Amino acid sequence: MQFSHASAFLISDLHLTPSMPLTAQRFFDFCEKEAREVEAVFILGDLFEYWVGDDANAQSPFHSEVKNALVALPSRVKTYYMHGNRDFLVGNAFLRKTGMTLLPDPCTVQIAGDEYTLSHGDSLCTADSGYQLYRNWTRKPSIQKWFLRLPLSWRHAIADRLRKNSKAQYRRDTRLSLDGDNPKGNVTVEACAALMRSQSSHKLIHGHTHLPARHHESLEGIEWQRWVLSDWDLDHPETYLPKASALRIDQHGVRYLDLVKN
C-alpha cells in the first residue's frame, strides 16, 4: 500500500486563524511534542479557518509561523494533508514549503497493520443537497482558476460572506430541528456505506462534523467502524468548553488523546 506507517496521529478542523491564538499555540505545541512520537501525522482538512489562495498568505507572519511549525517536524515524521471545506484552495506552493503530501479525498491508508479509509467528511453529508451542489461546483478546476485570478480583496470578501452564510444556515437548521441537532450537518449512513463499499473497507475516519465519537454501523450487509475527529477551540470558553484532541493509532490500537489536558 502506498501509505503505510506503524503509528500516526490524525487531526482536523483546527480552523487556525490569528484571532484564535490559544488554539494556534496548542497546534504549535503539538508539532513540538506529540507529533514527534509517531511516524505520520494526517491533517484531514480545515487546518485553517479559510484559505483564498497561496498568494494571499505569502507575507503573513501568522501563516509563516504555521509553516515553520510543520517544517520543524523531524524528517522521519511524514505529514499528510487533505483538503477540507474551508481550505480546499491550499495549493502546491504551500504544500512544497511545508513538505506535506496531499491526499485525495477519500483514500485508504495502512496504519499499524490495519487499513483505514480517510475523508474530510463533508462529501458524506448527503442530506444537505444544497451544500453538495455548492461543493461540486467549487471543486471544479475551472471555477477555482477563475476565483484565484480575482483581486485579493474580492476573494477575502467572498470567503467572509460564505462563512457568515454557512454559520447562519447552520443555526437555522439546528433551531428548526426538534431535538436541537442538525442532521444536514452530519454524515448519512447511506453515504458511509457507499464509501465503505467502494473502498472495500471496514474502518472510516473523518472530521468536519465536530461530533467526535466512535460508531459501529451497518447497512445492507456492510458493517464498519467510524471515528469522528474533534474540532479545536481553546479561545471561546464563554461559548464552548475548551476542545482539542487527536486520534492516535499504533500497536496498542485506536484511541483519542485529549490535547486540552495534556
DSSP string of 183-238, one letter each residue: GGGS--HHHHHHHHHHHT-SEEEE-SS---EEEEEEETTEEEEEEEPPP-B-S-TT
Cβ atoms 128, 135 nearer than 8 A? no
CA 225 to chain centre: 19
pLDDT at 178 over 70: no
Q: What is the pTM of this model?
A: 0.93
**Cell 486520534 identifies what position?**
247
Closest of 183, 165, 186 to residue 175, by C-alpha: 183
C-alpha cell of 184? Answer: 444536514
Cα distance between residue 253 and residue 118, in whole Å: 17
Each domain of the chain, given as residue ranges in start order, spans: 4-258
d(CA 41, CA 36): 9
pLDDT value of residue 180: 52
Rg (C-alpha) for the chain, rounded Å, is 18
Which H or E element spans position 26? Answer: helix 21-32
Cross-strand pairs, 102: 81
Average pLDDT, the chain: 92
Express each pLDDT in 87-127 by its tens digit.
999 999 999 999 999 999 999 999 999 999 999 999 999 99
The CATH number fitting domain 4-258, selected from 3.20.20.80, 3.20.20.220, 3.30.420.40, 3.60.21.10 = 3.60.21.10
Q: In what order do the strands lie in the sheet with 107-111?
A: 4-5, 107-111, 114-119, 203-206, 222-228, 213-219
Q: How many CB atoms lie within 10 A of CB 64?
A: 13
Pairwise CA distance, residues 202 & 206, whole Å: 13
Q: What type of residue sits at position 195? A: L
List the single range of 70-79, 177-186, 195-204, 205-214 with lowest mean pLDDT: 177-186
Percent of the chain whose pLDDT exceeds 70 = 94
* Terminal-residue alpha carbon distance, the chain: 33
Is the pLDDT assigned to residue 254 strictly greater than 50? yes
Q: Take residue 241 and report the three cell numbers written for it.
A: 468548553
What pLDDT, in 10s, does the model give residues 224-243?
999 999 999 999 987 878 99
